[in-house]
Amino acid sequence: MKIRYFLTSLITIVLFHVFSIQAALPKPTWQSGKLTLRDKTVLEGDLSYNWLMETVLFRQTDGRVRTLSANQLSQFGWFDFSIHKYRDFRVLARDEPNVPSRPAIFEICMDGSLVVVRHLRQRHGLLNRTFTHPAYFADQPEMAQNTDHFDYFVYDAGRLRALERFHTDIYEPLMRAHDKTLQHYVQVHNINDRSLLGRLLVIDRYNTLVEQDAKTASAKGIVVAPE
């Protein structure tokens, strides 16, 4: 009897929790933006991106809503007035161990010689998958500005290099040309290049140095080979 009572109580609590979540689900956040389909068709209108589902809701002028996935898109974006920045999303090929390459949506966080992109961090565990509704992953300022929700990569020559392996996969093979200048920059500004923010600052500084090299060479009429 005690076991039956416990199971009944547990089921009741779980159902109450699920129904409460369903009743309070957030509505999509719409942004005025533009998207490009894989066939290069350009559409303008209201967009709402869901990070978990990797889908874009596109609201047409007649009020109808289309759902577009990474397989149908090339890129999309909008100007985010909350952070005063244009949000740029691209569909890139994502390679994972023992899994065929598939298209996935990434946000461009930093442009330049080294392009930094991010993707929603995968949640693990049965409870996370069971009690996390996709509606909570519609893009919104609180989520977009929290770096803990995302994995960050440098996108280089069609390859995604994780910032978690910054020194071995990014710094050593790609950034050594400016090693002395970058090390001085890190020391002077007391940057922790083991943190995400520190690594982003170092990459940003590297991109600035490469851009300066290109401008100097252009002024002298010299062609600079890509880094």
**Count of CB atoms situated within 10 Å of the CB of 174:** 17
Three-state secondary structure call for residue 72 = coil
Question: Where along the chain do its domains lie?
Answer: 28-156, 165-221
What is the model's pLDDT at position 6?
45
How confident is the model over 141-178, as pLDDT tens digits?
Answer: 888 889 999 999 999 988 999 999 999 999 999 999 99
Q: Assess whether pLDDT exceeds 90 at residue 92.
A: yes
Q: Assess whether pLDDT exceeds 50 at residue 74.
A: yes
pTM of the model: 0.81
What is the model's pLDDT at position 200?
98
What is the model's pLDDT at position 60?
87
Q: How confident is the model at residue 15 (pLDDT cuts 50, 70, 90)?
A: very low
> What are the CA-CA distances from residue 193 to residues 22, 119, 145 (Å)?
42, 21, 20
Q: Assess whether pLDDT exceeds 60 at residue 23.
A: no
- Average of per-residue pLDDT across 125-133: 52
Contacts of residue 89, Cβ cutoff 8 Å, sequence gap at least 6: 49, 75, 76, 77, 105, 106, 107, 108
- Cβ burial of 43 (10 Å; 0-12, 13-18, 19+) is middle
How confident is the model over 165-213, as pLDDT tens digits?
Answer: 999 999 999 999 999 999 999 999 999 999 999 999 999 999 999 999 8
What is the model's pLDDT at position 70?
96
Q: What is the edge-to-edge ordering of all strands in the sheet holding 159-162?
A: 65-69, 55-59, 42-50, 31-37, 73-80, 85-96, 99-110, 115-120, 150-156, 159-162
Three-state secondary structure call for residue 41 = coil
Q: Assess whether pLDDT exceeds 60 at residue 130.
A: no
What is the model's pLDDT at position 17?
47
